[in-house]
Amino acid sequence: MKNNTFDLQDHTMKNSWIILVLSILLTSCGKSQSISITDFSQEGLQDYTLLDVRTPEEFSDGHLENAININWYDANFVDQLKDIPKENTLYVYCKKGGRSAEAATLLDSLGYKVIDLQGGYDAYQAKQ
């Protein structure tokens, strides 16, 4: 009868390494970054797009300077992103932070570099 102790240990080690590599990949990918909208400044930023994902009505009531508006609720939200270069960092905000967090997750999965501006336009207005 052959002793398979070494084969079992070798197999266990390989599985451990695979699990470690997968864990690192999963935690490093698919996570958009975030900062508070009250800490955000456009000064010195290059190659970025400021994206407001609120409704057109909310946008027309006020928005951050240089923002473009693509309504998160539009059925063709993703199609409207085609003119935004993926090389640009996207700074995304909404009214309070819920929609922009969802949009940031989607945009990240599509290959965009995304920073979610937490707190939304309401927090920005409150700071003014």
Query: Can you give the pTM of this predicted structure?
Result: 0.75
The pLDDT, as a whole number, for residue 20 is: 45
In contact, 99 and 119? CB cutoff 8 Å: no
Question: Is 29 known to be catalytic?
Answer: no
Residue 84 has pLDDT above 50, yes or no: yes
Name the catalytic one among 94, 103, 114, 117: 94
The pLDDT, as a whole number, for residue 44 is: 87
Distance CA(12)–CA(2), nearest Å, equals 18
**78 band by pLDDT with thresholds 50, 70 and 90:** very high
Distance CA(86)–CA(107), nearest Å, equals 10
